[in-house]
Amino acid sequence: MRRLSGQQLLETWGLSYFRDISTFGALSDATISHLIRSGQVLELEPGEVLFEAGDGSDGFYVIVRGQIAFFKYHSGHYAFIRNYHFGENIGFVGMIALHHRIGRAQADGETVVVKVPVSMFNELYDRDTQEFALLLMNLARDMARGIRAVDNIIVERSLPVPQQGPPPRIC
């Protein structure tokens, strides 16, 4: 794992690149720049581990290039859960729930992430509550999408239940 300069990343990729990241959606340019410059920008090689089960949840990561495979640890075994892609965050649930990491996050190809440590997350709240609220809403939206994806997997693996009446309208 190699540490990169957030300032150089902004200069090389441009601010517009980061505006397309769902975790940063609707945030001001100043806040996005601050998160990139002040966060810990890390470059991972394929197969490199970002965090391991049992590690402290001292922040979360935003994937700005590549993807991360997540393997859940339970009862002495690891199982692949899903890939986290460009723009998504990983590690927020553990941070907000105040528990240790529950699995292994591993780079699936060359990957770049921005770590937002707890201290920086709290500092954003103190500095600009509106921007903090937008970031928190984006993180919650990502979490909701993850829950929905897991629910869909459960449905796909369950026995079909006979349906009565017309199919439900899903918006």
Residue 33 confidence (pLDDT): 97
Specify if 166 maps to a domain: no
Tokens coding 164: 């009565």
Residue 170 confidence (pLDDT): 72
Specify if 98 maps to a domain: yes
Strands (E), the chain: 2-4, 40-44, 49-51, 59-65, 68-74, 77-84, 89-90, 103-107, 111-117
Residue 160 confidence (pLDDT): 72
Tokens coding 17: 């690149």
Starting at the edge strand found earlier in the chain, the sheet holding 89-90 runs 2-4, 40-44, 111-117, 59-65, 89-90
Question: The domain spanning residue 101 has which CATH number?
Answer: 2.60.120.10
Express each pLDDT in 79-128 by its tens digit. 998 999 999 999 999 999 999 999 999 999 999 999 999 999 999 999 99
Q: What is the mean pLDDT of residues 128-133?
A: 97
Specify if 163 maps to a domain: no
The count of domains in the chain is: 1
- The residue type of 102 is I
Express each pLDDT in 49-90 by its tens digit. 999 999 999 999 999 999 999 999 999 999 998 999 999 999
| Nearest Cα to Cα of residue 93 among 152, 142, 162 | 142
Name the average pLDDT for the chain. Answer: 93
Specify if 162 maps to a domain: no
For residue 155, what is the enclosing H or E element?
helix 129-157
Specify if 168 maps to a domain: no
| Structural domain of 41 | 2-154
What is the value of pTM for the model shown?
Answer: 0.90
Residue 171 confidence (pLDDT): 65
